[in-house]
Amino acid sequence: MKISLWKITGLILAVLIFAACGAQNNAGVDGMEGGMMGEGGMMGKGGMMGNGGQMKFHMAAIPDPYAGIKSPIPSDDQSIERGQAIFTANCATCHGDGGMGDGPAGEALDPAPAPVAHTSQMMSDAYLFWRISEGGSEFGTAMISFKSILSEDDRWDVINYVRALGAGKVMPQNQFGGQVNDPEAQATQQAEMLDAAVSQGVISQAEADLFSELHPTIDDFIQNNRSELSGIDKPMMESGLDAMVEQGILTEDQASQFLDIHNRMVDAGLMQ
């Protein structure tokens, strides 16, 4: 049986990454292992309602010198192609070829590696570049820092690739298997999350209905205006809601209610 050099290299990387995560966990990382570009997250291996409170990582204040930076690398075919090679070599073992947090080296991690193909759609340039560059030490996770491993251009290429992957603009490599970003699966899990929030008394049914009604519009707006929103020193959702109010797409009351519902579900550990 012939095994390609690429396959062998990938398997070696999987072993090394898994061993590094395990070593940090044994040193007392409180079981908070992660992979490249985030720890856990909505739609990860634990699902929307597993692993507790990972969305709070995404709402963390971005420190200097990363706050407000924007990508200098256009998301063109050349950048995406470079990013695919870098992602396959460095990230897919944990995050899966489809970027949904289900790579073989991430199987034993709790929380699971982030579903970066999904979460990257809603995260700012500054946030993603910060998390790749500095790793997870600030959050007590085993995610390694890539600033001494990947050049700045390499990191931006990876971000361009992961966003293209999550948007369905490219198909993943088939080295490590895994799911692809599936809007229908996201909708199903969101409905399950809202049902759980209502049954636990975190939100009312009317609030769940409002969240379901507004969420697609807010998601689309943020994804389509990500470049402009990335330069604002606020979490992407908050800056997106502010912009939608300014443009008359939402009322102030709708934006305030949506953010309040969102934050209550985060605090209850229902939204990852």
Q: What is the DSSP string of 179-191?
A: ----HHHHHHHHH
The model's pLDDT over 79-116, given as tens digits with 9 standing for 90+, comes to 999 999 999 999 888 888 988 888 888 787 766 677 88
Query: 3-state class of 66 per DSSP?
Result: coil
Q: Report the pLDDT value the prediction gives residue 142, as an integer from 0 to 100.
A: 67
pLDDT confidence band for 207 (50 / 70 / 90): very high
- Mention every residue, 6+ apart, whose C-beta is less than 8 A from residue 44: 50, 51, 54, 100, 101, 111, 112, 113, 114, 115, 272
pTM above 0.85, yes or no: no
Q: Report the pLDDT value the prediction gives residue 10, as an integer from 0 to 100.
A: 41
- In angstroms, the first-to-last Cα distance of the chain is 42
pLDDT of residue 25 exceeding 50, the answer is: no
More confident residue, 217 or 39: 217
As a whole number of angstroms, the distance between CA 259 and CA 261 comes to 6
Residue listed under structure tokens 């982030």: 114
More confident residue, 59 or 201: 201
pLDDT of residue 232 exceeding 90, the answer is: no
Q: Report the pLDDT value the prediction gives residue 59, as an integer from 0 to 100.
A: 64
The model's pLDDT over 32-86, given as tens digits with 9 standing for 90+, comes to 233 344 433 333 333 333 334 455 566 677 888 998 899 999 999 999 999 999 9
* pLDDT, mean over the chain: 76
Q: Report the pLDDT value the prediction gives residue 161, as an integer from 0 to 100.
A: 95
| Average pLDDT estimate for 214-239 | 82
